[in-house]
Amino acid sequence: MRIQDKVIVITGGASGLGLATARFMIEEKGARVAILDLNAEAGQKAIDELGAERAFFVATDVSSEESVQRAVEAVVDRFGAIHVCINGAALANGFKVLGRDGKATPLARFAQVTAVNLNGVFNVMSKCAEKMAANDPEGGEERGVVINVSSGAAYEGQIGQAAYAATKAAVIGLNMPAAREFGAIGVRVNAIAPGLFLTPMVAALDAKVLDALKSQVEAPRRLGDMREFAHTCAFIVENAYVNAETIRLDAASRLKAR
C-alpha cells in the first residue's frame, strides 16, 4: 500500500516510538496521522510540531469502547477514512505473581495491564478495520493494514513482567486469526516485537544503566534508533505480501531473567 496521503491511526502516538513513527510517516512518507493518546498535553505538543494540516489528536482511552468509538469517528470526520492502524499504547507495569510477602498479587493489577495491552489492541483494531472495509481497494487488493506492537518480552519475559509479557504474547496470537478473517476485506495484520530502543525515557537514564542495557544487545551493540522502528512500520505497510507476521526488531538481543 502506498503511504502518500493515507490516513494512519497511531495509539500511544504522543510520545516515544509512536511519536517517532508519526513524525516519520508525515515527514518522510507524506501521510496524514491521527494520534490517539491519553496525554492531552503531549498530544497537543505533537500537533504543534507536526502541523495541524496532516496531524490530528484525539484524547483516547483505548480500554474504553465508547472512547475509541468516538475517536475513530472523529478521525473519519477529519480525514475521511482510515487506512492504517498502529497499536502502540501499552502499560509496562512491573510486578511479580507473588509479592515480597509471598502473597498472590491482586488480580486487579493484572487486569489493568490486559485492559490496555490486549483489550485495547482488539478494541482499536476492530473499530479501525470496520472503517477500512469501506475503502476502495488499492490495486484491487488492499483496503488497510494493521500493525500491533508486541515486545521481545513476549518471547523472553523477565521476572516481574508476567502481565506485560503475557499481553504482548497475546498480541502475536492475534496475527493469524485476524489476518485470515480480514483477508476477505483486503486488510493485512502484522506485529512488531521491538527490543531495546533509545526512547526519550530511556535516554534520560543514568549512563551506567544505559551501558548495562547496551551490553544486552548483540549486533549492532547499541540501542535501537526510533526511526528504525518507524521504518519497519512503513515497510510493512508498503509490502503487500507481508501478512500475519511478527518482526523481531532487536539486533539479535534476548532479554535475561533479570
- Taking only the tens place, the pLDDT of each residue in 191-239 is 999 999 999 888 888 888 888 889 889 999 999 999 999 999 999 999 9
Residue 154 lies in a domain: yes
Residue 229 lies in a domain: yes
Residue 1 lies in a domain: no
Task: State the pLDDT at residue 209.
Answer: 85
- Report helix angle 107-117 to 119-132, nearest 10: 20
CATH number, domain containing residue 164: 3.40.50.720
Domain that holds residue 132: 7-249
Task: State the pLDDT at residue 150.
Answer: 97
Residue 257 lies in a domain: no
Count of the separate structural domains present in the chain:
1
Answer yes or no: pTM beyond 0.85: yes
Residue 14 lies in a domain: yes
Residue 142 lies in a domain: yes
With CA atoms as reference, report the closest residue to 8 among 50, 42, 64: 50
Active site residues: 164
Residue 52 lies in a domain: yes
Q: How far is CA 100 from CA 96, 112, 256, 257, in A?
A: 8, 20, 21, 18
Render each residue's pLDDT in the chain as its tens digit; 258 residues: 999 999 999 999 999 999 999 999 999 999 999 999 999 999 999 999 999 999 999 999 999 999 999 999 999 999 999 999 999 999 999 999 999 999 999 999 999 999 999 999 999 999 999 999 999 999 989 999 999 999 999 999 999 999 999 999 999 999 999 999 999 999 999 999 999 999 988 888 888 888 888 988 999 999 999 999 999 999 999 999 999 999 999 999 988 877
Ramachandran class of 193: left when φ > 0, alpha when ψ lies in -120 to 50, beta otherwise: beta
Grid coordinates representing 168 are: 504482548
Residue 255 lies in a domain: no
